[in-house]
Structure 1
Amino acid sequence: MRGRRSAGRRGHRRSGQRRAGGGRAHRGRSVFFAIRDVCSHAEVPLSEGDVEGCTIECWLHGSQFDLRTGKPTGPPATEAVPTYETRISDGDVYVAVQTATQEPVK
């Protein structure tokens, strides 16, 4: 994974978010997601919103985004936010900050 940046140690936090460049890394059960930390509707930080399951909600207008794909799951947003590939190596979580995608990484 070229252009990767550490988002922290795996297991260091039980759950939550960690800054990784211009995006946000969120740990689900044993999966980590990373998205751009800006709502596509209102240009405010998504990191200040609530996460439930695989959905993050923008605190300002309530737009919801799927953490796996970046696609909006609820109005008023209509455009996806970029997602970033994540990988765990030696207990560290890495985010590929140079390769954003609108499709889920398999």
Structure 2
Amino acid sequence: MALNEKLAPDLPDGFEWGAADEALIEQGDGLLETIAALEEAIERDGVTVTGSSGQSRLNSAITELRQARLGVARIVALLSVQIDRAVSSSGQVRRGTRYSPRDVRRR
């Protein structure tokens, strides 16, 4: 499922993503595909793998999976800020609202 589809239930009527938001959604979709591939690799190869000296070591896909999940979480947080800022207390979309990195730091 695409990130946009997962966020759709939270979007008010008339809400439209800006160009920067669409780029974030595209990156998030790429990360979701990476997560699926990493989960398959872990399922196939296991949590531990044999190292170059024959030792048991953590599958590097575990670390990459964690990083990809963090990336998706950050993107969702940025997009959530955009949604929150765009909706007034009455539930109506305010036109011309845009996400600002300064707003995320205050959260």
Q: Could you tell me the TM-score, scaled by structure 2's length?
A: 0.30
Q: Which has the higher strand share?
A: 1
Q: Which has the higher helix share?
A: 2
Q: Could you tell me the TM-score, scaled by structure 1's length?
A: 0.30
